[in-house]
Amino acid sequence: MDEVIGLFPTPFMRVPGALPSALVQGLAQHFGAMAIRENNSSANLSHTAVLKPGDSPLFIEAAALITPKLVDFGALLFGERLGWSVKEMWVNFLDTGGRQAMHNHANSFVSGVVYLTPTHPDSRTVFMKSPGGHDFAFKNDHAGVTPGPYSADKWISPAPEPGDLVLFPSYLMHAVPPNPGERRITMALNAIPSRLESWGYGISFAG
């Protein structure tokens, strides 16, 4: 019997209903007036300043619910249940026609998105292989190709509901296509473990 084994897969965690509806609505309403920082990838994309969890009681409540999931996800990445903390959080506002360019998150190990409003099917978060990765220099790419997990360049995340959380390694490239629907509000976060050790070398991180 032939067997196909996926070598070194990238984990992606989806947590439906991670935050209760009252908290989701509170976050969207509270931070709506604070989205004053424009984003150079789109005139219809704005966001709050990058904030610490302690900057808002709403963030503290959200971080308390998210942190156990970070511990679970971190065990997949590092093979150990470490202490984790949310380092920073911010809220994104993507109005009609807005888009978010391909990017990843620096200075963290796990990043996440909490969806605070309904998301139009065409503006679901898209995850991509890193440009200049380890693929063949010439690839098979034409109308007759059926992309799969070993050949596709991108993956479109499942349709989220308000309160859903996704977690992924911070190095993973992602983007949001142009939004044809109503304002899309998400809360993004970066997280770090308390420490990492490697054969006698150790480093601790402060949240």
| Mean pLDDT per 10-residue section of the chain, whose length is 207 residues | 92 98 95 72 84 92 97 97 96 93 94 98 94 70 89 93 98 96 96 95 86
Distances (CA, A) of 24 to 29, 68, 100, 116, 118: 9, 18, 22, 5, 11
CATH number of 13-131+147-193: 2.60.120.620
The residues, any chain, with a CB within 8 Å of residue 28's CB and separated by 6 or more, are 91, 116, 117, 185
How high is the pLDDT of residue 34?
74
How confident is the model at residue 131, as a pLDDT?
75
Q: At what angle do helices 21-32 and 57-78 cross, to 10 degrees?
A: 120
User: What pTM was estimated for this model as a whole?
Assistant: 0.92
